[in-house]
């Protein structure tokens, strides 16, 4: 694609110079050890071009980016019935907030805040042992990325289980409203493990291809979800994918994207490309600081926006 390779190389070079890199997530001990100087970026076009820059082949903890894939799987299982248990509105609150749950009777605002993703994990647990549900999520992501080397970082999962007090609080609180159907510890086990999946920018951009291509893998033509569902997942990414920073991200970047506290962001240019960026330092909303800036620069350079033709 004209200009894409050069834009990516220039942005990566510029990001390498920056000293204001944000703060690495400190509340998950295993993540606090990551080198904040890391930066990677990948673009996979619908035509099959793969363009990489910086540390694009180094795996990192995808954390909440995994919620895009678990939502996709849960919608495949229970369809629109999911929306009886999870909302579709931006929360305007931090990703780990529990304050709205009391006002809204244990129904999380959307599937991308922690409480919403824990309900999604509970949905994926139906009829399964946690190990099987986790295996199903991993297999799904491997098949989307066309890469069987993707693994779960068990140390990150254990680190989060040992310190995830707010997630335990949210899960138990929702259980009191019957919005968690299994033992909260089991739903949390699934949740912590899918957050601990490690992927590189290349693998993440590959896994996001179906969302940039109306629900179908551009390589095989295989249908992952309907075109309508792909549009709806992208709509949720745009409105809720960056928590209480979602409005600002839409304003600055203008394309659907989902962030994680590992510093990764998966972004979609519908009809054009799937993008991934990784820089571990976070801004005040827990979104990758340089990752957001890099996507803003790339969208501007390529004239990409869902709000313009």
Q: Which is nearer to ligand GLN, 215 or 241 (CB)?
A: 241
Q: How far apart are CA 12 and CA 15, in angstroms?
A: 5
* Alpha carbon distance, N-terminus to C-terminus of the chain: 17
Can you name the residues that pair with 59 across neighbouring β-strands? none
Smallest distance, ligand GLN to C-beta of residue 147, A: 22
Q: Which is nearer to ligand GLN, 52 or 207 (CB)?
A: 207
Smallest distance, ligand GLN to C-beta of residue 185, A: 15
Considering 44, 224, 261, 277, which one is annotated as catalytic? 261
Give yes or no for residue 260 binding ligand GLN (CB under 6 A). Answer: yes
Smallest distance, ligand GLN to C-beta of residue 66, A: 8
DSSP string, 211-278: HHTTTB-TTT--BSS-HHHHHHHHHHHHHHTTGGGHHHHHHHT-S-EEE-TTSEEEEEETTTEEEEEE
Considering 91, 119, 243, 288, which one is annotated as catalytic? 243
Q: Which residue is nearest to ligand GLN (CB)?
A: 64
Give yes or no for residue 71 binding ligand GLN (CB under 6 A). Answer: no
Q: Which is nearer to ligand GLN, 46 or 63 (CB)?
A: 63
Integer-rounded Cα radius of gyration of the chain: 18
Q: How big is the site for ligand GLN, counted in residues (CB under 6 A)?
A: 11
In the annotation, is 191 catalytic?
A: yes
In the annotation, is 67 catalytic?
A: yes
Q: Which is nearer to ligand GLN, 8 or 195 (CB)?
A: 195
Name 62's Cβ contacts closer than 8 Å, sequence gap at least 6.
195, 197, 198, 199, 204, 260, 262, 264
Give yes or no for residue 245 binding ligand GLN (CB under 6 A). Answer: no
Considering 68, 191, 253, 269, which one is annotated as catalytic? 191
Considering 24, 61, 67, 253, which one is annotated as catalytic? 67
Smallest distance, ligand GLN to C-beta of residue 275, A: 18
Distance of CA 248 to the CA centre of its chain: 17
Q: Which of 93, 33, 24 is nearest to 264 (CA)?
A: 24
**34 backbone φψ class: left, alpha, beta (φ>0; ψ -120 to 50):** beta
Give yes or no for residue 116 binding ligand GLN (CB under 6 A). Answer: no
Q: Which of 216, 295, 285 is nearest to 257 (CA)?
A: 295
Name 84's Cβ contacts closer than 8 Å, sequence gap at least 6.
none
Q: Pattern 171-210, binding to ligand GLN, x per CB under 6 A?
A: ------------------------x---------------
Give yes or no for residue 167 binding ligand GLN (CB under 6 A). Answer: yes
Which residues would be at the binding site for ligand GLN (CB under 6 A)? 63-64, 95-96, 114, 160, 167, 195, 260-261, 286
Q: So which residues are the catalytic ones?
A: 64, 67, 191, 243, 261
């Amino acid at each position: 694609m004209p200009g894409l390779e050069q834009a990516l190389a220039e942005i990566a070079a510029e990001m390498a110079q920056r000293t204001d890199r944000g703060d690495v997530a400190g509340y998950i001990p295993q993540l606090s050890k990551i080198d904040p100087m890391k930066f990677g970026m990948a673009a996979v076009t619908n035509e099959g071009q793969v363009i990489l820059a910086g540390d694009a082949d180094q795996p990192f903890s995808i954390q909440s980016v995994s919620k895009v894939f678990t939502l996709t799987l849960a919608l495949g299982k229970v369809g629109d019935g999911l929306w009886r248990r999870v909302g579709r509105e931006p929360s305007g609150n931090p990703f780990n907030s529990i304050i709205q749950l009391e006002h809204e009777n244990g129904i999380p605002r959307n599937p991308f805040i922690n409480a919403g993703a824990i309900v999604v994990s509970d949905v994926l647990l139906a009829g399964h042992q946690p190990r099987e549900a986790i295996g199903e999520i991993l297999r799904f992501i491997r098949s989307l990325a066309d890469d069987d080397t993707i693994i779960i970082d068990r140390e990150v999962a254990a680190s989060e289980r040992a310190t995830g007090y707010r997630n335990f609080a949210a899960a138990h609180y929702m259980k009191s409203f019957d919005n968690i159907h299994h033992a909260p510890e089991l739903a949390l086990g699934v949740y912590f493990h899918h957050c601990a999946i490690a992927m590189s920018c290349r693998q993440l951009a590959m896994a996001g291809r179906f969302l940039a291509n109306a629900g179908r893998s551009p390589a095989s033509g295989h249908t992952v979800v309907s075109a309508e569902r792909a549009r709806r997942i992208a709509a949720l990414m745009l409105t809720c994918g960056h928590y209480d920073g979602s409005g600002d991200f839409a304003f600055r970047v203008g394309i659907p994207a989902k962030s994680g506290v590992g510093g990764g962001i998966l972004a979609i240019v519908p009809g054009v490309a799937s993008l991934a960026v990784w820089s571990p330092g976070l801004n005040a909303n827990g979104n990758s600081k340089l990752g957001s800036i890099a996507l803003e620069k790339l969208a501007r350079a390529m004239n990409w926006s869902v709000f313009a033709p």
